[in-house]
């Protein structure tokens, strides 16, 4: 009976350790997503900096995971659409949020 209790206690401890490991793995920051985020922001900035439209060169970009946010001011709705369209092929699962304002 004591052996059964010890076996149960040991397996319970192992289960707790596994749960703690899983929790720790989820709570620790990972370098890979952060690096991918920086890479995505850099790629988007390069696209805007290489644009023939000066207003696109002044836009700001922020990426948090799979979401890319474009901010700033453009001169027309065409430029707003162009900014978003120029980034759409950066990633299949990338959500582009276009918060640019059109100056009147």
Q: 47-69 pLDDT, tens per residue?
A: 999 999 999 999 999 998 889 99
Confirm whether 14 is domain-assigned.
Answer: no
Report which of residues 84 and 38 the model is more confident about: 84
Q: Does residue 16 sit within a domain?
A: no
pTM for this model (two decimals): 0.64
Number of H helices, E strands in the chain: 4, 5
Residue 8 belongs to a domain: no
Domain that holds residue 90: 31-102
Cβ atoms 82, 53 nearer than 8 A: yes
pLDDT digits 0-9 by tens, 14-53: 444 443 333 333 334 444 556 777 888 999 999 999 999 9
CATH number for the domain that contains residue 81: 3.30.70
Residue 21 maps to a domain = no
What pLDDT score does 32 carry? Answer: 52
b/e per residue 61-78 (b: at least 16 CB within 10 A): bebeeeebbbebebeeee
| Phi, psi at 66, each rounded to 5° | -105, 20
């Amino acid at each position: 009976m004591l052996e059964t209790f010890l076996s149960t206690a040991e397996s319970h401890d192992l289960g707790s350790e596994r749960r703690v490991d899983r929790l720790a793995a989820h709570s620790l920051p990972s370098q890979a997503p952060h690096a991918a985020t920086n890479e995505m922001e850099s790629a988007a900035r390069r696209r805007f900096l290489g644009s023939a439209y000066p207003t696109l060169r002044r836009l700001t970009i922020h990426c948090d995971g799979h979401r890319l946010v474009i901010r700033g001011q453009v001169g027309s709705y065409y430029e707003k659409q162009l900014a978003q369209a120029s980034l759409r092929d950066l990633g299949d699962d990338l959500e582009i949020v276009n918060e640019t304002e059109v100056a009147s």
